[in-house]
Amino acid sequence: MTETTLDELSINTIRGLCIDMVERANSGHPGTPLDLAPCAYTLWQSFLRFDPADPIWANRDRFVLSAGHASALLWSLLHLSHTRSVDSDYEIGRDGAVSLDDLKSFRELGSRCPGHPEYRWTSGVEATTGPLGQGAAMSVGMALAQRWQSHYFNREGFTLFDYDVYALVGDGCMMEGIASEAASLAAHQKLSKLCWIYDSNQITIEGRTSLTFTEDVADRFLAYGWHVVTVPDANDLAAIRGALTNFRAEHERPTLIIVHSHIGYGSPVEDTRQAHGEPLGREGVRSTKRFFGLPEDQEFYAPSSVYECFNDHLGARGAQARAAWTETFSRYQASYPELADELTRQQRRELPDAWEEALPSFAPDGVGLATRTSSGQVLNCVAKVVPWMVGGAADLDPSTFTRLTFDGAGDAQNETPAGRNFHFGVREHAAAAIANGMSLSKLRSYWSTFFIFSDYARAAIRLSALMEIPVLHVFTHDSIGVGQDGPTHQPVEQLASFRAMPGLLVFRPADANEVVETWRFVTALQHEPAALVLTRQNVPTLDRTKVASAALLRHGAYVLVDDPARELDVILLATGSEVHLALAAREELVAEGLAVRVVSMPCWELFDRQSPDYRESVLPRRVRARVAVEQASTFGWHRYVGDRGAVVGMETFGASAPLQALQTKFGFTVANVTDVARATIERSKEVW
């Protein structure tokens, strides 16, 4: 069999597997995998440096399927290449990540072939994609990570990081704003190791893209500062090879390869609906297979010669590259043992020994610090001893205090690629997604903005939780305490909505030492993202000889101050700046002869994980009089205060006024909290 014939057979085998997956599942997107198969095959077989026997090798090229609805294509590639499985301890198994049975159970419960690529679920998936544009933006983070890693770790004679990053994007990705944000930043950063392959098939769910999308994409990317290459026919393998070779020769700009395709390529797949969610049907499958020269009545046809073809090209090339890298790393360990240890820890999401010794402590102070300020100080202490902790702000680091200021931190720009401070610009959505991409490349990444603007980044934050990657989302200006900027800048519903997000730890610390303990906890996370929600205004630093240790923050909620000798009359629960309001209200209530407990509750999610006995010790069921105080939506608090309790919170948006006026208007005063507490005590005595 000639190489050309084998290429055609391999491409059509991929197409046939995709058709059968969608047909068996009676769900999915057959059209896009059909037109992308030649391009994806050429990339994997002739260019991608990826070893199926070690799919987590540190210097592998990254392939991100941003057009995640074409997941059947990726499952076919992973199956035919016999990509190995990897467990949560980074151990490589002997079995394939995607078996033939997995292909047959595409989109079924428990299958390694879900409807869209899912990171940590199937080996060989570099990122969870599906929401269009997210994969494209994450690939920018991966390319930034590659450049940072190469300049931090590489030494003369030791090239440990030089991987390329490929993202396969579609028309929908190009329409999404996040892709535009990320593309703009990629051009500014001159990420020449980044290649987007744009499948321009001019089809979306509603029909032809001409309904809504008539811009010249090539001109747009040229204006950004990208290198643009066009492939007129997606079936032209020589042209695809030429475009990818062109990308590798470009050393100043990211590359966009525009591949013009047509759903089905003259096959029976002409209905635009079949590109976006409809199987072909029995006769459609038969006629399509006939068109591509595949056995019409044989499901999941994959001849041994195709497996051998993948093994002889992708497999052999990847194994050789990995073996050479492993030999280089062995020599590197002898020459640069400390850097080699750092690289190993980074790849396994482990931290340097004794890193916690760098954490500061804060003396009691009646004036105190804004928690954004203390957070910035702690971040600098941590980042100084964790060299791969990098990040920045969406144009707000003077306000979010996330700038690293110690000697040598520097700015990450094309001219200074080893800098630790990344500037994302006014691009909140892209910033969060890029931080995800950095984390997927094993950097300890964070990003920041005002809490209200987290809404612009919510989809990317959700993906960090879904992928179980430890990105740190740092938010400041956490409440109506923003004051005169008014309700457009005052977050109200954001806390409740992020607490509703599975897998995201949300912290709202009360003072500088709770901030320290928050950073102690979140820095060590390996499989969970966290949101830090911080004040703009100063809050006192509590005297921990008079109240409980901030180290109890690790439980999510703890008894801050109590009168253990007396039966409790009421419990005041609070987070963040309102903890100090609760303490002031307690003083007045205690002066009236009442027994009052104050509970600081910085992280609901951690508290809910504690044992029933611990939760009972903090919130005993016998005490029905409970008042929660938080300058945010009351939604969710009733699970803790119960049907006899009350919440002093926000039921409306805020207003534009000085902070003190706002606190009075919305009831965040000692007088109001004590009034509510007294009423709650009386209500708790009623017989219902």
Residues serving a catalytic function are 428
Distance CA 351, CA 366 (A): 35
Residue 266: CB partners within 8 Å, gap ≥ 6?
A: 291
DSSP 8-state class, residue 573: E
Query: Which residue, 646, 553, 637, is CA-closest to 602?
Result: 553
Q: State the residue for tokens 């070690």.
A: 54
Distance (Å, rounded) from C-alpha 655 to C-alpha 633? 14
**Neighbour-count burial of 348, counting CB atoms closer than 10 A to its CB (0-12 exposed, 13-18 middle, 19+ buried):** exposed
Question: Which position has the token pair 């073996």?
Answer: 323
How far is residue 92's CA from residue 100's CA, in Å, rounded to a whole number? Answer: 19
- Give CA–CA dist 625/308, Å, rounded: 71
Containing H/E element for 310?
A: helix 304-310
First to last CA, the chain: 84
**What CA–CA distance (Å, rounded) separates 171 from 40?**
17
Angle at 553 between CA 589 and CA 534, to 5 degrees: 85
CA atoms within 13 A on the CB side of 551: 6
CA angle 319, 322, 326 (to 5 degrees): 135
CA distance 205 to 168: 18
Tokens of 476: 């400041």
Scan for tokens 């401070």, then name that residue.
421
For 383, list phi and psi in degrees, rounded to 5.
-65, -30
Cα(118)–Cα(465) distance, integer angstroms: 12
- The DSSP annotation for 130-167 comes to -STTHHHHHHHHHHHHHHHHHHHH-BTTB------EEE
C-alpha radius of gyration, the chain, whole number: 28
Alpha-carbon gap, residue 35 to 474, rounded angstroms = 41
Whether 195 contacts 255, CB under 8 Å:
yes
CA pseudo-torsion sign 132, 133, 138, 143: positive
What distance lies between CA 290 and its chain's CA centroid?
42
506, two tokens: 């949300």
CA dihedral for 205, 206, 208, 213, sign (positive or negative) = negative
